[in-house]
Amino acid sequence: MTEGTEGTGGGFNFQQFIEDSKNVLIAPKEYFTSMAKEGGLGEPIIKALIYGALAGIISMIWSIAGLGAIGGALGGAIGGGIGIMILVWAIIGAIVGLFIGGVIVLVISAICGGNTDFEANVRVTASMMVLSPINAVLGILAGIHFSIGAIVSLLVSLYGLYLLYQALVNALAAKEGTAKVVSIVLAVIPALILASTLVCARAVTSQANSWQKQMEKTGNADAMKKLEQFRKQMEEAAKKNQ
C-alpha cells in the first residue's frame, strides 16, 4: 500500500501528489490496487483544492483570452470578468464536489458489493478529480467548434468512468461483473445526451442555412441580418450549455 501524499511528518507530500496524479492517468489499475484508503480527510481535501484551482486558472485564462466555450461566446473583456468568478467557483465546487462525489461513489460501491467506508470513497473521488484540469485544458476546443468540444468532453467523461471501474474493483473490492455493468450503463447516458444535442444543433443549423438561402433569393437584407443574429445566438447558447 502506498504512503499517499501525506509525508511521514504529517505534511503534504507534493512530489508524491504529482506521482499519484500521473499514475492515476497512465496506470489506474496499479494505482488503485495500492492506494491508501485511510489516513484522514486532509489529503483528499488538499488534492481536490489543487485540482480545482488548476482547472479554474486554466478556464480563467481561456476566458481572458476570449477562447474556450465562455470566452469565445462573450469575448475577451467580458470573458475576463467572468473568468475570475470561474476560478472562485472552481475552488468552491472542488470541495463540494469532493464530498458529493464521495457519497455517489459510496452508493455505487454499495450496489456493486464493495467498500462502503466514507473516507475510502472520498479518497477515490479525490484521485479521479485529476481529470478536472485536463478537461479545462481541452475546453479550448469548445471555443473552436462546439461539436469537437462536446465529443472531446464525452471522451474525457468516458475515461473517468473507466477510472471509476478500476477504483471500484481494485480499491473498493467491488464485484467485477457488477462494476462492469454499472460502468457501461453510466457510459451510455452521456453518449445519448451528446448524440441528441448534436442532432438538435445540426437540425437548427440546417434550418437556419435554408432560411438564409431563401432570403438571399428574395433579397430581403433586413430578414437576412436578423437570421444571422439568430444563428449566432443559438451557437453561443449551445456553447454555454456544453
CA gap 1, 147 in Å, rounded = 42
Which residues neighbour 13 within 8 Å (Cβ) at sequence distance 6 or greater? 3, 4, 5, 6, 7
pTM, to two decimals: 0.73
Angstrom distances, CA of residue 234 to CA of 213, 230, 242: 18, 6, 12
pLDDT at 140: 79
User: Apex CA 227: angle with CA 226 and CA 229, to 5°?
Assistant: 65
The more confidently predicted of residues 62 and 184 is 184
Q: Residue 6's beta-bridge partner residues?
A: 12
CA gap 130, 25 in Å, rounded = 8
| DSSP alpha helix (H) spans, 65-145 | 68-74, 76-111, 118-128, 131-138, 140-144
pLDDT at 139: 79
Q: 150-203: per-residue pLDDT in tens?
A: 788 888 989 999 999 999 999 999 999 999 999 999 988 877 776 776 666 565
Q: 196-227: per-residue pLDDT in tens?
A: 766 665 655 565 556 556 655 655 556 556 65
Q: 47-57: per-residue pLDDT in tens?
A: 999 999 999 99
CA gap 232, 148 in Å, rounded = 17
Q: 24-41: per-residue pLDDT in tens?
A: 999 999 999 999 999 999
